[in-house]
């Protein structure tokens, strides 16, 4: 039997791991010429040492690795990682995704062994509140408060400004990365820990504060995906909240519209309109945002860049069966134009691992998505809804940005889904009516 002191020590390291995962930036840690020891990696190493040196823990952790069915979905992708590493002599081609998968399995193990699903959600909610609060601090400061934690050179990318407006980035290395984090965190606003139900307006204040952070990232893709995400949260909320939610939604839209009308000529109103019209311009190829200070030339260049990225599938410097790996920074010619970065994860994955790698990872994502949809209809679980909403919207968002080392937040959702109890949904039967009478009414109804 483990003593209380040992259990408490392991739990503290587990909490430190989750906090480091969410709150501490990737550029905080111990620099190393071979393999930088970020805060997350340090906690991973500490947890693995505690697991390996304990027989029961090591046995339970191996059970997680060997018995969880998610591993079957990952096998094709891991095969691609291995042969790319060997043929391209690129250790990072295997190591970077491997560390992310290790994070996934550690999360599954910690939920099963230490936190439980509810305990993990409470810890994540605490981290979300901290990040949202610091997002407002960053808005006031005009620079990331996390930048003072920079101990590893070459990761922190500095301040981002577009159209004279500072774009918050929180603990991520880019505003777009923080946007991806917010997309995975938004669905937590709707889950009720006490009733296990799902309701989009369960935490309305937090939802509003998170949307303010979304606007302040200055990311059109994050803004559009977040609007769609709230709509999906609304649709998948428990039906008994429908009438109240319709009233809340209409009231919120009217209040938001009135606030824009009142503050139309203020800096705040102009910024909000700039973000909304920029999103509309991106979707429908219009130029409404120019009236609020957007650069017309920049809009056209952005559209041309998106069109150019699609041509990467046809370039001759990528072997369709063997990608380039990860050992060098991307900079290549596409149709005679220099492309320095790829703002589309799926295209970037094609460059790194060619068609086999891209399709193998899509197979993993699709497999998890199908499993979640099946279990949603079977269990009506609030946690499955949370994971499904966040997972779908994250996968949609990375169609216009790269993952920016944020897959760990998607894996948090997957780990919660895997660990929840999947109890089949049983509809409540009223005591005032016989179930046989109900069946009889349904039978005769077919002939009316």
pLDDT of residue 5: 81
pLDDT of residue 159: 86
What is residue 111's three-state secondary structure?
Answer: helix
- Tell me the H-state helices in 142-241: 175-185, 204-216, 220-235
> Which token pair is 50?
């505690």
State how far the Cα of 330 lies from the Cα of 220, in Å rounded to an integer. Answer: 24
Other beta carbons within 10 Å of 288: 16
pLDDT of residue 430: 55
> Which token pair is 338?
């220099």
State how far the Cα of 273 lies from the Cα of 264, in Å rounded to an integer. Answer: 8
Residue with tokens 């002599």: 89
pLDDT of residue 342: 87
State how far the Cα of 350 lies from the Cα of 317, in Å rounded to an integer. Answer: 12
pLDDT of residue 1: 54
pLDDT in tens, the chain (448 residues): 567 887 888 999 999 999 999 999 999 999 887 778 899 999 999 999 999 999 999 999 999 999 999 999 999 999 999 999 999 999 999 999 999 999 999 999 999 999 999 999 999 999 999 999 999 999 999 999 999 999 998 888 888 887 778 999 999 999 999 999 999 999 999 999 999 999 999 999 999 999 999 999 999 999 999 999 999 999 999 999 999 999 999 999 999 888 888 877 788 788 888 888 888 888 888 888 888 888 777 777 787 888 888 889 988 888 999 999 987 666 777 877 888 888 899 999 999 999 999 999 999 999 999 999 999 999 999 999 999 999 999 999 999 999 999 999 999 999 999 999 988 988 766 555 544 444 444 333 333 3
Which candidate, 225, 233, 236, 188, places its Cα nearest to that of 209?
A: 188
Q: Which helix (H) or strand (E) holds 37?
A: strand 37-38
| CB 125, CB 386: distance < 8 Å | no
């Amino acid at each position: 039997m483990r003593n209380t002191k040992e259990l408490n020590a392991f739990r503290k390291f587990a909490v430190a791991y989750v906090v480091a995962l969410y709150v501490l930036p990737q550029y905080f840690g111990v620099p190393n010429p071979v393999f930088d020891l970020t805060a997350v990696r340090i906690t991973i190493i500490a947890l693995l040492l505690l697991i390996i040196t304990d027989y029961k823990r090591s046995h339970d952790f191996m059970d997680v690795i060997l018995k969880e069915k998610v591993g079957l979905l990952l096998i094709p992708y891991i095969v691609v990682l291995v042969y790319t590493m060997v043929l391209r002599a690129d250790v990072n081609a295997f190591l970077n995704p491997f560390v992310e998968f290790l994070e996934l399995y550690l999360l599954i193990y910690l939920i099963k062994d230490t936190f439980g699903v509810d305990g993990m959600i409470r810890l994540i909610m605490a981290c979300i509140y901290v990040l949202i609060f610091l997002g407002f601090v960053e808005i006031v400061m005009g620079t990331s408060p996390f930048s003072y934690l920079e101990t590893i050179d070459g990761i922190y990318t500095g301040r981002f400004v577009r159209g004279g407006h500072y774009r918050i980035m929180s603990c991520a290395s880019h505003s777009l990365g923080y946007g991806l984090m917010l997309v995975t965190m938004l669905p937590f606003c709707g889950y009720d820990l006490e009733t296990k139900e799902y309701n989009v307006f369960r935490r309305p204040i937090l939802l509003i504060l998170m949307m303010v952070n979304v606007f302040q990232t200055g990311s059109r893709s994050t803004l559009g995906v977040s609007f769609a995400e709230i709509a999906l949260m609304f649709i998948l909320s428990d039906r008994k909240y429908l009438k109240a939610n319709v009233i809340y939604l209409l009231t919120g839209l009217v209040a938001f519209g009135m606030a824009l009308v009142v503050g139309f000529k203020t800096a705040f109103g102009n910024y909000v309109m700039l973000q909304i019209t920029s999103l509309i311009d991106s979707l429908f190829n219009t130029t409404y945002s120019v009236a609020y200070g957007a650069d017309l030339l920049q809009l056209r260049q952005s559209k041309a860049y998106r069109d150019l990225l699609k041509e990467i599938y046809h370039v001759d410097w990528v072997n369709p069966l063997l990608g380039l790996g990860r050992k060098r920074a991307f900079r290549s010619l596409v149709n005679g134009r220099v492309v320095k970065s790829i703002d589309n994860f799926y295209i970037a994955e094609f460059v790194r691992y060619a068609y086999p790698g891209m399709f193998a990872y899509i197979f993993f994502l699709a497999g998890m998505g199908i499993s979640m949809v099946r279990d949603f209809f079977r269990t009506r679980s609030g946690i499955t809804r949370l994971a499904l909403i966040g997972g779908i919207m994250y996968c949609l968002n990375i169609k216009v940005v790269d993952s920016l080392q944020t897959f760990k937040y998607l894996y948090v959702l997957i780990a919660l889904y895997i660990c929840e109890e999947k109890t089949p949904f049983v509809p409540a039967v009223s005591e005032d009516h016989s179930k046989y009478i109900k069946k009889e009414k349904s039978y005769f109804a077919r002939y009316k």
